[in-house]
Amino acid sequence: MLDYGIIVILAYLIGSIPSGLIIGKKFFGVDIRQHGSGNLGGTNTFRVLGVKAGLTVTIADILKGTLAASLPLFFQSDMHYLIAGIFAVLGHTYPIFAGFRGGKAVATSAGVLLWYAPFMFIIMIAGFFICLYITKYVSLSSMFGGLVALIYSIISQDILLIIVVAILTLFVIYRHRANIKRIIDKTEPKVKWLG
């Protein structure tokens, strides 16, 4: 059981690494929490610092989830990869290194699925970009990607995967509740870098 405790703590700490804050302060001298939506995730980084910074933060946040989900393998533990991954998502959303104000759980959740179900990850990312191309809303595309992953998990008949993806998708939707209101009100910003 000691390995469980170590993995949970490490996964949370990995998830807590504030990629957006680090990139913003180190390379731009900007605390992105003071700009845009105030969110530490990739979307706000795109808006505040541009495409290169946004991509860097998004990839870093994805890899946090992938690394955390892989911890049971490194520790030769029987803890399920998805359980370890959930704690990284919690760390990303409520990071101890950034005053418990983090991202909206999208990229790190995707990173967890990249480790456990890479084909699902590809399908989910495809769904995200198709929705983004059509709507130009990152928030809506993120939620749509979660729903695509949920449908895939149901088809897979992997019970734990279904439960975890359902929890993550509902959490992502909950974290985007303000975005949903802005979409309805037609005040949600659209991406400008996508043709």
User: Which pLDDT score, from 0 to 100, does residue 37 have?
Assistant: 81
Q: Are the beta carbons of 66 and 111 closer than 8 angstroms?
A: yes
Residue 64 lies in a domain: yes
Q: Which 8-state DSSP code applies to residue 35?
A: S
In the predicted model, what is the mean pLDDT of the chain?
A: 93
User: Which pLDDT score, from 0 to 100, does residue 47 have?
Assistant: 85
pTM, 2 dp: 0.93
Q: What is the mean pLDDT of residues 100-116?
A: 94
User: For residue 195, is pLDDT > 60?
Assistant: no
pLDDT digits (tens, 9 = 90+) for 109-148: 999 999 999 999 999 999 999 999 999 999 999 999 999 9
User: Which pLDDT score, from 0 to 100, does residue 121 have?
Assistant: 97
pLDDT digits (tens, 9 = 90+) for 135-188: 999 999 999 999 999 999 999 999 999 999 999 999 999 999 999 999 999 999
Residue 170 lies in a domain: yes
Picking from 7, 150, 191, 174, the residue whose alpha carbon sits closest to that of residue 93 is 174
In 3-state terms, what secondary structure has residue 79? coil
Domain encompassing residue 47? 2-185
For 185, the token pair is 């009100």
Rounded to an integer, what distance in angstroms lies between the CA atom of residue 18 and that of residue 16?
Answer: 6
Residue 195 lies in a domain: no
Rounded to an integer, what distance in angstroms lies between the CA atom of residue 149 and that of residue 125?
Answer: 9
Instruction: Identify the band that residue 194 occupies on the pLDDT scale cut at 50, 70 and 90.
Output: low
User: Which pLDDT score, from 0 to 100, does residue 25 have?
Assistant: 92
Residue 63 lies in a domain: yes
Residue 68 lies in a domain: yes
Residue 192 lies in a domain: no
Residue 191 lies in a domain: no
Q: Which 8-state DSSP code applies to residue 50?
A: -
Residue 190 lies in a domain: no
Mean pLDDT: which of 8-12, 38-42, 134-138 is highest? Answer: 8-12
For 172, the token pair is 């992502």
Q: What domain count does the chain have?
A: 1
| 151, burial (CB in 10 Å: exposed 0-12, middle 13-18, buried 19+) | middle
Q: Which 8-state DSSP code applies to residue 191?
A: P
Instruction: Give the position of tokens 């049971």.
Output: 72
Determine which of 10-14, 48-52, 74-78, 149-153 has the lowest per-residue pLDDT on average. 48-52
Rounded to an integer, what distance in angstroms lies between the CA atom of residue 54 and that of residue 41?
Answer: 8
